[in-house]
Amino acid sequence: MNILIASSISQHAIDELSNKHDVVCAFGAPEEKLIQLIKDRELIIFRSGVQISAAVMGAAPNLKFLVRAGSGLDNLDVDYANKRGLKLIRIPEPGAKAVAELTFAFMLALSRNLIKADREWKKGHWIKGELKGYLLRGKVLGVIGAGNIGSLVGQMGSLWGMTVLGCVAKEDYTPEVEANLVSKGIRLTTFEEVVTNADYLTIHVPLMDSTRNLVDKEVLQMMKPGSYLMSLARGGVVDEQALYEELSNGGRLRGAALDVHLNEGEGKISPLAELPNVILTPHIGAQTYDSQKEIGDRVLESVDKFEAELITAEETSTINK
């Protein structure tokens, strides 16, 4: 098969694909470059950080398959892909485990002031008496978007001894979804109840028109005094300017941690960077060795399946002739 890998994936997967197929790598390339490289490709593999637009897909008449080596589809023109009849495979589960664990790391780091403690002690400042910490046990964890990732976070919180509230989009609700969340120790309720009761509010929703700036000034002012906000969703779901104003003006929030940002990439600096009670990481939620290896293995399985489908289709076409 002719394959375009538009995002960095596990090297073992790239090596194996290159041994068996015609592979072109163009990690994070701009649209113009992708349009040049995709012309004779049948399959494109991608993650976040690259835009798979209608123009890109439209430049490849032989394109049949798409592999999203992760979860979100905000960087794919889904309407065009569906209209074209392109087969799409998503691989959300391995990254979900890593993102859930990073969420918990954020909660612990914020609660125990670990960033400040580390920074000051490295300078020789013994500020033990100045650092106030808080337990997670007994607190309320609010999960906005209790799907693949959010439900894992909620389950971890429940096992840690937290009261867990979660919400999902109306169109995603079913009695089966609610029963599954209850089995993980998560009580399904309204967005408003989650926001107003959470000591720790964590965001795990896709970026869509309905979720852009979902957490805005109004929502931030609904939050519980002394609470923390974590976002591991997509940049644009949290209104960063509103969050900056809330945190810098001594508002209700005690701190925040964000792994996703409105502007991402080398040389970009978040407006939140100057605030001492904020943790910022460069979209590393799914970036563990274990998760990426598992994703790579799943990519290889998907490509083998696609190749088998192509062979079957060609044989059927020959027979019909």
The catalytic site residues sit at 234, 264, 283
- At 105 the three-state DSSP class reads helix
Phi-psi region of 224 (alpha: psi -120 to 50; beta: other; left: phi over 0): beta
Let me know how long the chain is.
Answer: 321
For the chain, the farthest-separated pair of C-alpha atoms sits apart, in whole angstroms, at: 83
Residues 6 or more apart whose Cβ sits within 8 Å of residue 310:
1, 42, 64
Residues 6 or more apart whose Cβ sits within 8 Å of residue 55:
31, 35
Q: How many CB atoms neighbour CB 185 within 10 A? A: 19
Phi-psi region of 290 (alpha: psi -120 to 50; beta: other; left: phi over 0): alpha
Residues 244 and 271: beta-carbon distance below 8 Å: yes
**If you count DSSP H runs as helices and E runs as strands, how many of each does the chain have, helices first?**
12, 12
